[in-house]
Amino acid sequence: MRSIAEIEQWLETGERSPDPLDHAAELLQASEDVLENWIVAHGGTPTDEMREGFRLLALHRQGAKGDPSFNACRETCREVAYHYNLVSMNAADPCIGSTVAMMRLVTKHLVLFIGGKLQEAGLGDFCCSSRPIRSKPDRKVDYLGV
């Protein structure tokens, strides 16, 4: 399991597998790692179960127990799974790069949200654009750095 900082750094570097399906798998794994960090930080052991065919969705369900504000990232997790499915079904499509780019942005959104929640317990009402996290002067945020 990579740390949230490592995943955020990886996303910012633009490093990626040249194969769209491999890169989508890397993004899915990064999303799972982020949720594992949340669960471990709250004293849990990340599940190996699947939900709707994705471990990511099972991890989200596990992470949301006892913290209703964590449900704010439920749709983000579902979007990661959706984009993974799109890539896996259409990997040979010459236009699949835009789908992978969107999956990368959604993964970054998940990283920023959960990373922020780990820093600020009350974060959730305003998602990853919450003022307490994003107003720190040493914090560089680049939402379009795909």
Q: Which amino acid is at 113?
A: F
Q: Is residue 86 part of a domain?
A: yes
Q: Is residue 63 part of a domain?
A: yes
Mean pLDDT of 102-121: 91
DSSP assignment of 21-89 equals HHHHHHHHHHHHHHHHHHHHHTT-------BTTBHHHHHHHHHHTT-GGGGGGHHHHHHHHHHHHHHHH
Q: Is residue 74 part of a domain?
A: yes
Side-chain-side CA neighbours of residue 26 (13 Å): 18
3-state secondary structure of 138: coil
Q: How many domains does the chain fold into?
A: 1
Q: Is residue 139 part of a domain?
A: no
Chain segment 12-63, per-residue pLDDT in tens = 998 888 999 999 999 999 999 999 999 999 999 999 999 999 999 999 999 9
Q: Is residue 141 part of a domain?
A: no
Chain segment 53-102, per-residue pLDDT in tens = 999 999 999 999 888 888 889 999 999 999 999 999 998 899 999 999 99
Looking up residue 123, the CATH number of its domain turns out to be: 1.20.120
Q: Which residues contact 42 (CB under 8 A, 6 or more apart)?
A: 63, 66, 67
Q: 125 phi and psi, to 5 degrees?
A: -65, -30
**Helix, strand, coil percent content, the chain, rounded in steps of 5:** 65, 0, 35
**Domain hosting residue 86, numbered range:** 4-134
Q: Is residue 118 part of a domain?
A: yes
